[in-house]
Every structure is written in C-alpha cells, then in structure tokens.
C-alpha cells in the first residue's frame, strides 16, 4: 500500500468517527464548554455554597459568643444621683431595666436569623431579673407608692407594673399569632423604665408618695418571700421528678431564671435597706438583713461551667438545682424572720 492510500484510509476513518460521534449534551454548545471541560458556573456555585456554609458555621457561634453576658455583678450601683426624697429601690429597678435592655441588649426575643437566638442562659437570666422587677413594681403600686390601701394608685407605678408583665419573648412580628406588627418586649420595658424614673422625679418634687412605714415594708417583704417560695417549689418539683440523669436541657433554663430572679431581688433589697435605714436601726434588723443578703449572694454566686441535674445524693454528678434551692429556701426563711420582727 502506497503512501497516498494510507492518507486516504486515515481521512476516511476520521470522517466515520465524526459521523458517528456522541452528540449528547454538546448540541449548540461551543467546544470549549463540552462535558469534559469543567463548567465555570459550576465551580463558582460550589465555591459560593462552601463560603455560605463556612459563614453560617462561624456566624452563629461567634456572634453568640460576642453577645453572651450573664451580668450578675453584685457591685452594680445606681447610675446617677439619688435626690432627697427619692427611692433608691425605684432607681435601681429602672437602672436594671436600662442595663439589660439598652446596654447588654435584650436577647430573649431575638429571631432565628440573629446569632443570639441560639443563646440559652443569658435570656433566661434576663427574664428572671425582669420577673423580680415586675413583682416589686406591684408592691410599689399596692404598698409603698400609696398612702393607704384604699387610696388611689400612682399612675406611673401602675403603668410600670403593667408593662413589666409583658412577655419577654415578643419580637416585632410573630406570624403564628398575628400578621400585624406588635410592640416588642424591649419597647414595653423601656416605657416601664421611663414611668419609674418619672415617679422618682415626682418624689423629689414632692408630687408623689413613698411610704417608709414598717407595715408597708413588711407587706412588701412578705410578697417577695412568697415569690421565692414559689420558685423553690418549682426547683423542688424538678429535682424530684426530673433529676437523676446529668444531661437535662431544661435544668439550665430553670437554674439561670432563678439566678436572675434572685439577683434582681438582691439589688432591690440592698437598696430597700438604704430607703428604710432609720426603721431598720430602730427595729435592730441590721444583722438579720446582712444574713439575708449573704444567703442571696451565695445563690447568685453559683456559677457552674455546666448545669448538672444529677441526683441530690450523687457522688460524681451533683444536682446544681438542689444546691440552688437550699440557698433560696434559707433566704426565704430569713425574710420571714425579718417580717416577723416588723410585725411586733
């Protein structure tokens, strides 16, 4: 076979291969983008998906870490001057609202796209603090802020008491309850803060009442003792019915709510002592009050790395709720001792 014949056979073979080639997925496409060449669009889509996954993996934990703050500082003081005639307990109540809502940021109602939505301990602590402030605002309205039980309630105190009852997990929009935007928890608490500060300003001007009588203080402390007793009953029920297995996702919720509630009451009682200092000296209540504050401080100071809900008599996995409940009951007993002395 000559050279010319070989060339002709090669040309015929190439024509046959071209005629019977696999054209699936290549019709109408340039040669550079056929299946055996990596798709530029596919590469960028994969890169975008990886970047999004990495962002989400970092966004929530880093954002939550930056936001997280269980602010249980017992040395926290009133942020401003308390004028003659004003109540220190009212001032610290307003300041605690300001701190948790405006400074630390209220996280209990954060929607799913905010990193703080994955937080657990901080929102429960904040709700516990507000629960104590709400209870005290009722006592301000019913006991300390009026001359007698039959007299008219102070408008600012009444407004604050109602606003602090607002749930702590309400965001601007909740489609499960309504399609219409609603007032957020922060907005309601800010209104309560302004009402309390307005009441204190009126006290300084002599346009409002803050009773410093023994019966008013006794009734207020009784209500606080009842509230602490209710919380201790919740702790007791959880320990009896749920404890034994160390891993309990609801134990830390209850622990930090109680911690926040006791912290709120600690701050209020610390300032009530200064509001009623003359009465406490007359009734020789300085030492019992110090013992009460020490028990409440021990409750607040409990700060385990992980809240364990083991059996109360466990050797290796103790029940932090049982320990918290012990200090709480001791504080409640000491509160009762003080109210008994005030009754005499």
Give which of 123, 130, 139, 337 is closest to 223, Cα–Cα: 139
What contacts 24+ positions apart, CB below 8 Å, involve 180-189? 184/109, 185/106, 185/108, 185/109, 186/101, 186/106, 186/109, 188/163, 188/164, 189/97, 189/101, 189/106, 189/130, 189/163, 189/164
Count CB-CB contacts under 10 A for residue 267.
26
In 206-319, where does DSSP find H-type helix?
A: 214-242, 251-275, 277-282, 286-301
- Using CA atoms, how far apart are residues 263 and 258, in angstroms rounded to an integer? 8
Note whether 337 and 234 are within 8 A (CB): no
Q: Hunting for tokens 């608490």 — which residue is that?
A: 189
pLDDT reported for residue 154: 94
pLDDT in tens, the chain (344 residues): 554 455 456 556 655 555 555 555 544 445 444 444 456 667 788 888 888 888 777 888 888 889 899 999 999 999 999 999 999 999 999 999 999 999 999 999 998 888 888 899 999 999 999 999 999 999 999 999 987 666 788 999 999 999 999 999 999 877 666 677 889 999 999 999 999 999 999 999 999 999 999 999 999 999 999 999 999 999 999 888 876 666 677 889 999 999 999 999 999 999 999 999 999 999 999 999 999 999 999 999 999 988 887 766 666 677 889 999 999 999 999 999 999 999 87
Per-residue tokens: 262? 């006791």
- Using CA atoms, how far apart are residues 245 and 195, in angstroms rounded to an integer? 46
pLDDT reported for residue 246: 61
pLDDT reported for residue 315: 60
CA distances from 20 to 16, 17, 157 (A): 6, 5, 91
Count CB-CB contacts under 10 A for residue 19.
7
Where in the chain are the domains?
42-343
Model's pTM, two decimal places?
A: 0.85
Count CB-CB contacts under 10 A for residue 320.
22
Note whether 321 and 251 are within 8 A (CB): yes
How many H helices and E strands in the chain?
11, 0
**Taking the CA of residue 343 as centre, how many other CA atoms within 13 Å lie in the half-sphere pointing to its CB?**
9
DSSP-derived secondary structure for 60-109: HHHHHHHH------TT---SS---TT--HHHHHHHHHHHIIIIITT--TT
pLDDT reported for residue 286: 94
- Using CA atoms, how far apart are residues 288 and 285, in angstroms rounded to an integer? 5
Q: What b/e readout covers 32-70, taking b as 16+ CB neighbours within 10 angstroms?
A: eeeeeeeeeeeeeeeeeeeeeeeeeeeebeebbeebbbb
């Amino acid at each position: 076979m000559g050279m010319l014949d070989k060339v002709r056979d090669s040309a015929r073979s190439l024509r046959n291969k071209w005629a019977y080639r696999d054209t699936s997925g290549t019709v109408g496409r340039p040669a550079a983008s056929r299946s055996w060449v990596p798709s530029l669009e596919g590469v960028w889509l994969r890169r975008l998906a990886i970047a999004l996954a990495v962002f989400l993996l970092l966004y929530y934990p880093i954002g939550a870490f930056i936001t997280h703050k269980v602010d249980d500082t017992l040395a926290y003081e009133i942020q401003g001057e308390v004028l003659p005639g004003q109540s220190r307990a009212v001032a610290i109540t307003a300041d605690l609202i300001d701190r948790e809502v405006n400074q630390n940021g209220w996280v209990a109602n954060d929607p799913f796209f905010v990193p703080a939505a994955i937080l657990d301990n901080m929102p429960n602590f904040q709700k516990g603090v507000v629960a104590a402030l709400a209870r005290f605002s009722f006592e301000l309205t019913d006991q300390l802020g009026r001359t007698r039980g039959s007299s008219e309630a102070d408008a600012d105190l009444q407004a604050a008491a109602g606003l602090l009852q607002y749930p702590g997990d309400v965001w601007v929009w909740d489609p499960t309850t309504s399609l219409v935007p609603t007032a957020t928890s922060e907005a309601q608490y800010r209104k309560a803060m302004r009402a309390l500060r307005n009441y204190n300003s009126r006290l300084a001007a002599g346009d409002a009442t803050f009773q410093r009588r023994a019966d008013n203080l006794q009734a207020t402390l009784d209500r606080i003792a009842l509230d602490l007793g209710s919380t201790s009953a919740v702790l007791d029920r959880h320990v009896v019915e749920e404890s034994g297995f160390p891993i309990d996702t609801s134990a830390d919720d209850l622990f930090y709510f109680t911690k926040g509630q006791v912290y709120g009451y600690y701050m209020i009682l610390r300032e009530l002592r200064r509001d009623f200092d003359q009465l406490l000296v007359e009734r020789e209540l300085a030492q019992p009050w110090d013992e009460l504050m020490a028990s409440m401080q021990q409750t607040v100071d409990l700060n385990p790395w992980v809240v364990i809900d083991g059996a109360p008599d466990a050797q290796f996995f103790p029940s932090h709720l049982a320990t918290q409940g012990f200090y709480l009951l001791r504080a409640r007993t000491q509160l009762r001792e003080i109210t008994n002395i005030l009754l005499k």
